[in-house]
Structure 1
């Protein structure tokens, strides 16, 4: 599975609230940097499972991949509709995802959201 395919699998798992898939595709030390919080892998999964963030609609506009040394970056331009603490929010983002090879497959090491003008 390449980095873009791994990215799509992670986005689908976040939408589907699939904790097992997220644990498989995301490294234990990974960090998620959102607009309002920074969370490690287990905190992020816990937020998703407790429905603190519900990934309602993930409209991916484009994805580009860039390998720099041992790290593969995926830049995902999207419009994300999420329910955050009960409130529906819609934001255009470029999400920067960093992947490294771990135990023979690419796993997410970092995900950062940057809000953009749509």
Structure 2
């Protein structure tokens, strides 16, 4: 093999390794966000407002079927049980990373207790995370009610 061919092959190998490393990095960040989202659903189910207080960004917004509000009101809603997020049955997850922002979309069936009544609703949930230092903070959580459940293949 000639010198030019060796340089070409070495460059090609390094390029493939670099691209693989970039995809692995993105994948690990996406997995970190998916894990945080799952943990968040559990913290909400457990009404763990101490952990959520640290996890929610101070300027976070929450959009529900019944209105929208900030961090303080969401923590109050969770603590008092006005909305008790009992179980999020996740059917689909996707994550898009844009600089220091991660946007996660979930299709879920949410079992919740609202005003003393247990209800299950199908939602697409949009979660926006902001990287601050070494940690991610939840900046927005929005519920969009679906006409058919995520598990239903007739949409």
TM-score, structure 2 normalization: 0.72
Q: Distance in 2 between matches of 1:9 and 1:81?
A: 16
Asked if residue 62 in structure 1 is aligned to residue 92 in structure 2, the reply is yes
The structure whose residues are more often helix, as a share, is 2
- What is the match of residue 131 of structure 2? 101
Which runs of 5 or more structure 2 residues have no equivalent in the other structure? Answer: 1-28, 150-155
Q: Which runs of 5+ in 1 are unaligned?
A: none
Question: In 2, are the aligned partners of 1:6 and 1:107 still within 8 Å (CA)?
Answer: no
Any runs of at least 4 consecutive aligned residues in structure 1 with deviations exceeding 6 A, and if so which?
none
SS across alignment from 1:17: coil
Q: Match of 1:109, SS?
A: strand
1:51 aligns with: 81
Alignment of structure 1 residues 1-118 onto 2, 5 Å? 2-116=32-146, 117-118=148-149
How large is the RMSD of aligned CA atoms in angstroms? Answer: 1.3
| Counterparts of 2:49 and 2:63, CA distance in 1 | 19
- Does 12-21 or 67-76 show the bigger shift? 67-76
Structure 2 contact 41–87 (Cα < 8 Å) conserved: no
- TM-score under structure 1 length normalisation: 0.93
Query: Does the CA-based 8 Å contact 1:10-1:21 persist in structure 2?
Result: no
| Higher-RCO chain (CA-CA 8 Å, sequence separation at least 6) | 1
